[in-house]
Amino acid sequence: MLGYSLRRLGFLLLTVLLTSVIIFSVTQWLPGDVCRIILGREAGEKALDACRQDLGLEAPLPVQYLRWLADFSGGDWGQSFSTRTDIFPLVMQRLLNSLRLAVLTLLISVPLAVGLGVLAGLNEGKLVDNLISIGSLSVVGLPEFVTGILLIQLFSFELRRWGLPSLPANSSIRPEAGFVESLPSLILPAITATLVLLAYIARLTRSGVLEEMKQSYVRTADLKGLPRHIVVVRHILPNALLPTITVIAISFGWLISGLVVIENVFNYPGLGRLLVFAIDRRDLPLMQAVALVTVVGFALANLVADLVYALLNPRIRYTEGN
């Protein structure tokens, strides 16, 4: 297991390194002059040349990349062209916000989707199976912005109009707010993201349960007289959830940086919204930082998924030699 973990970590580092080359190259090919963006259209050539010299843009691209990577690894991410502030604390604050939303979404969606998937799988072809399938697919078919607006209308405006406790429609949070304090602002975005993930995870779990129920070891456990819940928890679920783990890991990466629509509907200050802000203003250092942090998040999520996969599947032995 240790050897497998070290190899996966090596693949992670290689992936991040190769992706950093792609991110740096793509941002260099974007149209526009960085110094012209910084100094404005009225800047003279001398000022532009001095700016390029100061930023090291006169050096060959490989040299610029190595400098950028060294600075990034050391925590010096430069300054944003748009906000004129240091990028590192800005990205870290947005990353913290995205992690809060991602964790709450998974805490809601994973138990709910897995539970519905198991229930549907154990009742294949019955009424409860059909209701779960139709209901989950109907919900996931709605666009995210439609779901978000409906939730705002119901749980914010309508409850307030009826004089009942309501949830905030605006999910902007103070930078210094803790998780518990910001929880009311997280609930509606988390529910919206949950509805996006629900059907996929539930149907994948259902398929895994149906597949495992056909295996001989399940029939053997039933013949031994084991209670049904013991068979499900100890025998079926550990194997049925293996494909679901990878999907949950990928979903976690998406929750960190891919909730652009949801973050805009609820005015939530997450990492995805920050990336759109950077792209809209051609803020190259901010774009590079957010993109690379996103890649690292996806890579770490997949690493955790691989390790959990190895722990849950006793038939797979990861040793130093394989």
120 neighbors 202 (Cβ within 8 angstroms): yes
Q: How many domains does the chain have?
A: 2
Burial class (CB in 10 A: 0-12, 13-18, 19+), 301: buried
Q: Is 247 helix (H, G, I), strand (E, B) or coil?
A: helix
Does residue 251 belong to any structural domain of this protein?
yes
The angle subtended at Cα 304 by Cα 290 and Cα 111, nearest 5°, is: 100
* 180 and 238 in a common domain: yes
Pull the structure tokens for residue 79.
């300054």
User: Which of these ranges, 47-51, 203-207, 237-241, 296-300, has the smallest mean pLDDT?
Assistant: 47-51
The span from the CA of 209 to the CA of 132, in Å, is 15
The span from the CA of 109 to the CA of 139, in Å, is 13
Whether pLDDT at 40 is above 80: no
| pLDDT number for residue 106 | 92
203 neighbors 129 (Cβ within 8 angstroms): no
Does residue 291 belong to any structural domain of this protein?
yes
The span from the CA of 165 to the CA of 172, in Å, is 19
**255 or 53, which is more confident:** 255
Q: What is the pLDDT of residues 214-235, one digit of tens each?
A: 888 878 877 777 787 788 888 7
What average pLDDT does the segment 267-284 reach? 85
Does residue 31 belong to any structural domain of this protein?
yes
Whether pLDDT at 158 is above 60: yes
* 116 and 66 in a common domain: no
61 neighbors 21 (Cβ within 8 angstroms): no
| pLDDT number for residue 107 | 93
* 306 and 160 in a common domain: yes
* 247 and 139 in a common domain: yes
User: Which of these ranges, 18-22, 174-178, 184-188, 200-204, has the smallest mean pLDDT?
Assistant: 174-178
The span from the CA of 211 to the CA of 214, in Å, is 6
Pull the structure tokens for residue 75.
């925590």
Which residue is associated with the tokens 């031994």?
Answer: 224
Q: What is the pLDDT of residues 67-85, one digit of tens each?
A: 888 888 888 888 887 787 8
User: Which of these ranges, 50-64, 148-162, 254-268, 269-283, has the smallest mean pLDDT?
Assistant: 50-64
Which residues form the domain of 222? 88-312
* 142 and 102 in a common domain: yes
Q: What is the mean pLDDT of the chain?
A: 82
Does residue 32 belong to any structural domain of this protein?
yes
The span from the CA of 23 to the CA of 262, in Å, is 25
Which residue is associated with the tokens 């139709």?
Answer: 134
| pLDDT number for residue 190 | 92
- The whole model's pTM is what? 0.83
Does residue 231 belong to any structural domain of this protein?
yes
| pLDDT number for residue 111 | 92
Whether pLDDT at 52 is above 90: no
* 308 and 204 in a common domain: yes
* 183 and 294 in a common domain: yes
Side chain identity at residue 242, one-letter code: L
Pull the structure tokens for residue 254.
């998406």
Give the ranges where 141-259 is alpha helix by DSSP (H). 144-152, 159-161, 179-213, 216-223, 228-230, 237-240, 242-257
Does residue 318 belong to any structural domain of this protein?
no
